[in-house]
Amino acid sequence: MLILRSPAAMTAWSRSVQREGGTIGFVPTMGALHEGHRALIRRARLTCDAVVVSIFVNPAQFGPREDYARYPRPFRRDARLCREEGIDVLFAPSASAMYPAGFQTVVVVPEISKRWEGEQRPQHFSGVATVVTKLFGIVRPDQSIFGQKDYQQVCVIRRLVADLNLGTSIVVHPTVREPDGLALSSRNAYLTERQRRLAPLLYRALQTGAATVKRGVSSGALVRQGMVRVIRKEPLIAIDYLAVCDPDTLEPLHRITRNALLLGAVRIGAETPKKTERTVRTVRLIDNLLVTRRAGRSGA
């Protein structure tokens, strides 16, 4: 496994592979790799000759009060996982390599970014779109693999690739979960023992919504109300949003005719620490489920 830190060296390597007729699968990450990332790497290996994983904690997608400084960066552990999976290149550039002096270009995908995560984190998706555009230009992948957990991010990137003719196909891998349903995420490492016990409640709320749709209920408002009731049973959890959306546009669905995306973000609040304990932070979790309403079922 090569570890490359220079964008120019990364591009030169990719060009050499493609000159020889090889295909490149790309898994972009911010590190703190887990079994979900392992699944993405394995998916890339199934259809491509070479696999590149990037690790870059992108400062442009963090807001001023977010966790950029404390975001986990266990590089040695991450590199070990990549070696175990037999990847070809680990691309780990510095912030100054990605955003050199004089850098001023920002990529914005306005419509699909405006709701949900975009409303909660106003600069997030412009940071994502900008860094992903750069990474695609540097790595030149034939396929790029993303996890479904970050569904809105995937929608932004798909639109970006289509609009700018970036020449990579986007593959979406299903969300990888713990046995109790919690979606794997690098930020799960922040959870205290009590917060971890509460964390699967978001998935249970989404499951409740999915079951309601499958029973034939077509009202987006009624489906959302059922999800909200699940979360509000636990006072330590605050809802950022719970939504019933069109899977392609992410616009709210007032009436579900066929397919729907159930989308959610919550904050698990800080516990009151004892005098001898460190301060416990609020942890933010996101998740989603795709659901299909069976044809011929009638409901509210």
37 is catalytic: yes
Select which of 37, 124, 173, 254 is catalytic.
37
Residue 149 labeled ligand binder:
yes
Contacts of 220 (CB under 8 A, 6+ apart): 244, 252, 253, 254, 255, 256, 260
Residue 37 labeled ligand binder:
yes
Closest by CA to 241, choosing from 149, 104, 105, 119, is: 119
Question: For the sheet containing 24-29, what is the strand order?
Answer: 2-4, 89-91, 50-55, 24-29, 143-147, 169-173
Helix (H, G, I), strand (E, B) or coil at 146: strand
Residue 150 labeled ligand binder:
yes
Residue 33 labeled ligand binder:
yes
Residue 181 labeled ligand binder:
no
Residue 298 labeled ligand binder:
no
Residue 236 labeled ligand binder:
no
Is the four-CA dihedral 41, 39, 78, 105 of positive or negative sign?
positive
Residue 35 labeled ligand binder:
yes
Residue 16 labeled ligand binder:
no
Residue 153 labeled ligand binder:
yes
Residue 176 labeled ligand binder:
yes
Beta bridge mates, 254: none
What is the C-alpha separation between 32 and 258, in angstroms, rounded?
A: 37
Residues in the chain: 300
Residue 31 labeled ligand binder:
yes
What is the C-alpha separation between 61 and 83, in angstroms, rounded?
A: 28
β-pairing verdict for 169-173 and 237-245: unpaired
Residue 124 labeled ligand binder:
no
Q: How far is CA 153 from the centre of its chain?
A: 6
Q: Which residues are annotated as a binding site for (R)-pantoate?
A: 61, 153
Just list the catalytic residues.
Answer: 37
Q: Which residues are annotated as a binding site for beta-alanine?
A: 61
Q: Which residues are annotated as a binding site?
A: 30-37, 61, 147-150, 153, 176, 184-187
Q: Which residues are annotated as a binding site for ATP?
A: 30-37, 147-150, 176, 184-187
